[in-house]
Amino acid sequence: MIKVSDVVIIGGGIVGISIAYHLAKKGCSNVVVLEKEPLIGTGSTSKGAGGIRQQFSAEINIRLSMESVKIFERFADEMGCKDVFYQNGYLFLLSTEEEVASFKKNVVLQKGLGLKVDILSPDEVRSMISFINTDDLLGATFCGTDGYADIDGVIQGFAREAKRLGVDIYLQTEVEGIEVERGRVSSVKTRRGDIETHTVVNAAGPYSAIIGKMAGIDLPIKPFRRQIFVTEPMSFIPDSMPMVIDFHTKFYCRKESGGLLMGGGEKKEPSSFDTNVDWDSLEILVEKGIHRIPTIKEAKIKKGWAGLYSITPDFNPILGRVPQVEGFICAIGFSGHGFMHSPIVGKLISELIIDGEASTIDISPLSINRFKDKNKIIPEQNVI
Ligand SMILES: Cc1cc2nc3c(=O)[nH]c(=O)nc-3n(C[C@H](O)[C@H](O)[C@H](O)COP(=O)(O)OP(=O)(O)OC[C@H]3O[C@@H](n4cnc5c(N)ncnc54)[C@H](O)[C@@H]3O)c2cc1C
């Protein structure tokens, strides 16, 4: 294994691999990714729904998504692979006056940033997707440039190009410690030996607070279980079906392998690293699903899985340097939005490391320092 590296990235999930790719693309190829598992992308990355949306309430999240969508749109050309992005849109269904008022406010902000998003009536929802029960709906919002992507295609595309540009990805290489000398990162300790470096990127997803502790840093990130279930194929679902979010119950679904991929609306649970499927929660989910799409009653469940969200106190990620330890950079706490934000996060962290600051978007609102001053916190409201 290499003994010295310019940048050591801890975590071979979608975030770590995107950062590696963007660093190498920008000319910094002495980069190492350390992943404890035998394959990349087997953590939270492989458990997601692949959803990509720009409809957020916080300006910073809208900006992150709009820049990521640009990268997803040119991904196939840039990586020389087949298209991985299904731009079918996201349809948010709204059932109360409060939801309508808050989404109307969001739409003003989103349009002001240049996003094309429409407010729909229940009739317009029905003419878009005939099998949705609109009886108790007051309205909806739709953005046609949202959608979802093939998660494996995206991470493999970034990894292939990163390796071609000189990045080393070490699998089965668990990080066990971080040496800090006179307030500055000096090396990373792994089961397979140490690597000297002055720059470490924490991209360890739900495990990122443990990595923080290795350098003596407290990171306000907690893991929470989230689940997805997929039905057997059902003939009535068109290929063009958007991601549908029933905002009131948080039930969401989209087409997957001819059936429906369904998630959200689960019961509240304490923070844990548990990734066993809780089959009891399927009943709660299906009940919410049947209310919105009555034909789900006929569906047979094909499979289900559980993964972890990494949640921060304001549901926004922590990006950038930490003041306590020089050379320690965070790309963590995505609170359920890490796949959609991974392309731009890779670019921003590469700018931070190579140019000294992120220029495509000002990431200062996502600094860990925001938690010291309550006035600087703008929680994301559109969390599923
Ligand atoms: C059910 C569910 C649905 C979701 N749906 C969506 C969605 O629709 N859209 C979206 O954008 N996001 C979604 N997400 C969230 C998304 O999956 C995550 O935000 C994203 O995958 C985070 O990527 P990551 O690289 O930060 O973390 P991970 O993929 O978890 O990668 C971190 C990696 O670090 C490795 N690691 C940890 N500790 C160490 C160590 N000590 N040494 C070496 N390696 C280590 C882990 O093995 C892991 O591979 C969903 C998540 C879940 C669970």
pLDDT tens-digit readout, 215-225: 999 999 999 99
pLDDT the model gives residue 267? 81
* Residue 366 falls inside a structural domain: yes
Among 311, 337, 363, which residue terminates a domain? 311
Work out the mean pLDDT of the chain and round it to a whole number: 97
45 lines ligand 1 (CB under 6 A): yes
Our measurement of the distance from residue 263's CA atom to the centroid of its chain's CA atoms, rounded to an integer in Å, reads: 15
Q: Is the dihedral of CA 137, 334, 366, 168 positive or negative?
A: negative
* Residue 53 falls inside a structural domain: no
* Residue 293 falls inside a structural domain: yes
pLDDT tens-digit readout, 85-94: 999 999 999 9
Name the residue with the closest Cα to ligand 1, atom 2: 48
Atom number in ligand 1 closest to CA 334: 19
Based on the fold, state whether residues 156 and 14 are members of the same structural domain: yes
Distance (angstroms) between ligand 1 centre and the Cα of 206 equals 7
Rg (CA), the chain: 21
The confidence band for 208, taking pLDDT boundaries of 50, 70 and 90, is: very high
Q: How many domains does the chain have?
A: 2
Q: Is the pLDDT of residue 371 over 90?
A: yes
Question: Is residue 372 a contact partner of residue 362, using CB atoms and an 8 Å limit?
Answer: no
* Residue 75 falls inside a structural domain: no
Name the residue with the closest Cα to ligand 1, atom 20: 338
Helix axes 338-355, 14-25, angle to 10 degrees: 40
Q: Is the pLDDT of residue 135 over 90?
A: yes
pLDDT the model gives residue 254? 98
Among 259, 283, 311, which residue terminates a domain? 311
Q: Is the pLDDT of residue 373 over 90?
A: no
Based on the fold, state whether residues 137 and 228 are members of the same structural domain: yes
15 lines ligand 1 (CB under 6 A): yes
336 lines ligand 1 (CB under 6 A): yes
Based on the fold, state whether residues 365 and 352 are members of the same structural domain: yes
Based on the fold, state whether residues 213 and 232 are members of the same structural domain: no
226 lines ligand 1 (CB under 6 A): yes
Percent of the chain topping pLDDT 70: 100
The confidence band for 376, taking pLDDT boundaries of 50, 70 and 90, is: confident
Atom number in ligand 1 closest to CA 42: 49
pLDDT the model gives residue 162? 98
228 lines ligand 1 (CB under 6 A): yes
* Residue 237 falls inside a structural domain: yes
Distance (angstroms) between ligand 1 centre and the Cα of 291 equals 31
147 lines ligand 1 (CB under 6 A): no
| Nearest CA-CA partner of 381 in 85, 98, 83, 40 | 98
**CATH code of the domain in which 214 resides:** 3.50.50.60
pLDDT the model gives residue 203? 98
18 lines ligand 1 (CB under 6 A): no
224 lines ligand 1 (CB under 6 A): no
pLDDT tens-digit readout, 169-189: 999 999 999 999 999 999 999
Instruction: Return all residues near 227 (Cβ < 8 A) that are at least 6 apart.
Output: 263, 266, 277, 278, 281, 282, 285, 304, 305, 306, 307
Q: What's the 3-state SS for 83-145?
A: CCEECCCEEEEECCHHHHHHHHHHHHHHHHCCCCCEEECHHHHHHHCCCCCCCCCCEEEEECC
Based on the fold, state whether residues 230 and 360 are members of the same structural domain: no
Distance (angstroms) between ligand 1 centre and the Cα of 315 equals 15
Q: Is the pLDDT of residue 266 over 90?
A: no
Distance separating alpha carbons of residues 80 and 282, to the nearest angstrom: 39
**CATH code of the domain in which 246 resides:** 3.30.9.10
* Residue 25 falls inside a structural domain: yes
Based on the fold, state whether residues 296 and 232 are members of the same structural domain: yes
pLDDT tens-digit readout, 289-342: 999 999 999 999 999 999 999 999 999 999 999 999 999 999 999 999 999 999
Is the whole model's pTM more than 0.75, yes or no? Answer: yes
Based on the fold, state whether residues 128 and 262 are members of the same structural domain: yes
Based on the fold, state whether residues 172 and 207 are members of the same structural domain: yes
Name the residue with the closest Cα to ligand 1, atom 35: 11
* Residue 30 falls inside a structural domain: yes
Report the alpha-carbon angle 25-31-34, nearest 5.
125
Based on the fold, state whether residues 229 and 307 are members of the same structural domain: yes
* DSSP class of 326: B
3-state secondary structure of 356: coil
51 lines ligand 1 (CB under 6 A): yes
43 lines ligand 1 (CB under 6 A): yes
Based on the fold, state whether residues 156 and 267 are members of the same structural domain: no
Structure tokens at 174: 């668990």
The confidence band for 374, taking pLDDT boundaries of 50, 70 and 90, is: confident
Percent of the chain topping pLDDT 90: 96
Atom number in ligand 1 closest to CA 227: 1
pLDDT the model gives residue 139? 98
Distance (angstroms) between ligand 1 centre and the Cα of 310 equals 8
* Residue 294 falls inside a structural domain: yes
Report the alpha-carbon angle 230-90-154, nearest 5.
65
pLDDT the model gives residue 301? 96
Based on the fold, state whether residues 207 and 307 are members of the same structural domain: no
Q: Kindly state the average pLDDT of the residues 39-43.
A: 98
* Structural domain span for residue 130: 87-144+222-311
Question: Is residue 338 a contact partner of residue 310, using CB atoms and an 8 Å limit?
Answer: yes
Q: Is the pLDDT of residue 375 over 90?
A: no
263 lines ligand 1 (CB under 6 A): yes
pLDDT tens-digit readout, 345-368: 999 999 999 999 999 999 999 999
Among 284, 311, 338, which residue terminates a domain? 311
pLDDT the model gives residue 29? 83
Q: Kindly state the average pLDDT of the residues 261-280.
A: 93
Based on the fold, state whether residues 174 and 300 are members of the same structural domain: no
